[in-house]
Structure 1
Amino acid sequence: MKTFIIIGAINAFLSVALGAFGAHGLEGKVAPKYLDIWKTGVQYQMFHAAGLMIVGLLMGQIPASAFLTWSGWLMLIGIILFSGSLYILTLTQISVLGAITPLGGVAFLAGWVLLVLAVLKLS
């Protein structure tokens, strides 16, 4: 339970810090196109940081579930692959890194589906 709340809070912190870095540290250093890519990474990291905290809170309220546990891990994997690839793409402008981003998106989607299944399993 605590694990996903802590991981979520750390990712929320990091998304704020990375958002500030993008707005102040990258402005004028990378093309606006890449700043938008950076912002997308920050936005999705924050959404899924909140998702991780929801998973952690639910773990304290409902019986243990592999669906719920995997939901949290897939959200974390999604942050690493999706947001991480966008951050690296922005900094390096190596466009082939964009091929990794959809894998993170699939991890995000699977994480949310598993969260729904974990809750439906209660009924």
Structure 2
Amino acid sequence: MTQQIIIVTAAVFGMLSVIFGAFGAHTLKKVLSAEQLKSFETGIKYQMYHAIVLLVLGFNFKMITPAIYWCFTIGILLFSFSIYGLVLSDSKGKKLRFLGPVTPIGGLLLATGWFLLLINFW
């Protein structure tokens, strides 16, 4: 894992959160319930927050370990993207229930990434 990979990963996640946010605000707003839209926005927020953290860590390369990188990267994919899948499938009346348990696993990975960052800093 290189500094370049971390920064590219952060940039891709950041870019996608902006695209998904615009999609949610302009297109999905018309088809999602208020609760579904709020869930979708939660996925976007967590994705962007962790993209920013990855970017900062990418520029402070000594602060990040492979474990932190992978916890944040896989955590974003499992947490945010499972929320997107749950919300979009629910809006079509065919909720992908198998994604329900994926979200907390992603959240656990995100929290573990923060814990590892704390340990690494300490």
TM band (smaller chain)? 0.7 to 0.9
Choose from 58, 67, 85 the match for 1:88: 85
Aligned to 1:55: 57
Please state if 1:28 is matched with 2:25. no
- TM value normalised by structure 1: 0.87
1:100 to partner: Cα distance: 1.1
CA distance in 1, matches of 2:54, 2:39: 22
Aligned to 2:75: 78
Amino acid at match of 1:77: I
Please state if 1:12 is matched with 2:9. no
* Percent identity (aligned): 37
Which runs of no fewer than 5 residues in structure 2 stay unpaired?
Answer: none
Which runs of no fewer than 5 residues in structure 1 stay unpaired?
Answer: none
> Greater CA deviation, 44-53 or 94-103?
94-103
- TM value normalised by structure 2: 0.88
Q: In structure 1, the residue corresponding to 2:29 is in which secondary structure?
A: coil
Two-structure CA RMSD over aligned residues (Å): 1.5
- Aligned residue pairs total 115
> Greater CA deviation, 46-55 or 36-45?
46-55
